[in-house]
Amino acid sequence: MIRINLLPHREMRRERRKKEFVGLIGLTGVAAAAAAFAVGMVINGKISIQTERNDFIKTENAKLDQQIKQIATLRQEIESLKTRQQAVEALQSDRTVPVHILDELVKQTPEGIFLKQAKQEDKKVTMIGWAQSQDRIAELWRNFANRTPWLERPDLMESKAVTIGSATSKDQRQVFEFAINVLVKSNAAKDANAAVPKAPGKSMVQAANSVK
C-alpha cells in the first residue's frame, strides 16, 4: 500500500526558511549597529582628543601672542632707554664745550684784538670785536682754521674801519670792527681727555674782556 503525506511540508519549510532568514537579517543588523556604535565611539574619542589638542594649541598660541606683544613692548622700551642714554651722554659730553671754547678763544686770539662779544648757538660761535689791523683779523682766522682741536671752518662775516673813543678825547683811534663765525667740531667733546668744571650758560656774552 502506498502512503501519501498530505501535510503542507513545502509551505512549512518555506516558512521556516523565511523565519531563519529574518532572524539572520536581524542578527546582522544588530551586529552592524554594534560595529557602527563601536566605530562611532572610537571616532568620537579621536575627535575629542584632537579637539583637546586644538584647544591646547590655541591656548599656547594665545600665550605666544601675548609674549610677542610683551617682547615688542620691551624692545620699544629698550630703544627709548637707548635714546635717553644717548641724549644724556651727549649732554654730559657737550656740557664742557663752552669752557673749552672760552679757553680756545683766549689761546687763539692774537695780540691787538679785543673781543666785545662771543655767543654760541648750537654748533656755531659768533664773535664780535675790534682789531688793530686787518692782519690781526687774518691771523685770528688762520688760528681758528688750523690751530685749535675744538673749532673749525671760520667765516669772516664783516670787517670795517671804525673810530673809537670820544671826539674830544686824545685816546680817539681808528680800529677795525669785525664779526666772525666759527663752528664747534662735532667730535671734539668725545676726544677731550681732561675733565673740566661745570660750564657756564650756553650764551657767552662778553666772554673775553680783553686779549692783547
Give the domain extent around 24: 9-94
**Rounded distance between C-alpha atoms, residue 109 and residue 111, angstroms:** 7
pTM over 0.75: no
H helices of the chain, where?
9-94, 97-108, 134-146, 188-191
pLDDT along the chain (212 residues), means of 10: 61 81 86 89 90 91 90 89 81 71 82 84 84 86 83 84 71 82 72 44 38 38
* Long-range contacts at 51-58 (CB < 8 A, ≥ 24 apart): none
| pLDDT for res 143 | 85
151 inside domain: yes
Q: Could you tell me if residue 199 is inside a domain?
A: no
Residue 16 placed within a domain:
yes
Question: What does the pLDDT read at residue 194?
Answer: 42
CA distances from 199 to 101, 117, 204 (A): 10, 18, 11
Q: How many domains does the chain have?
A: 2
Q: What's residue 118's pLDDT?
A: 82
pLDDT at residue 100, as a whole number? 78
Confidence at residue 173, expressed as pLDDT on a 0 to 100 scale: 80
Together in a domain, 89 and 102: no
- Cα distances from 26 to residues 17, 36, 193, in angstroms, run 14, 15, 104
CA nearest neighbour of 137 among 163, 108, 117, 162: 108
Helices 97-108 & 134-146, crossing angle to 10 degrees?
Answer: 140
Domain boundary among 26, 61, 94: 94
pLDDT of residue 200: 42
Q: What is the pLDDT of residues 35-75, one digit of tens each?
A: 888 898 899 888 989 999 999 999 999 999 998 988 988 88
Site of grid cell 671754547: 101
pLDDT score of 57: 92
Residues 174 and 109 in one domain: yes
User: Looking at residue 211, what is its pLDDT?
Assistant: 38
* pLDDT for 169: 62
Residues 81, 55, single domain; the answer is yes
Q: What is the pLDDT of residue 7?
A: 58
- In the listed set 34, 65, 94, which residue is the last one of a domain according to the structure? 94
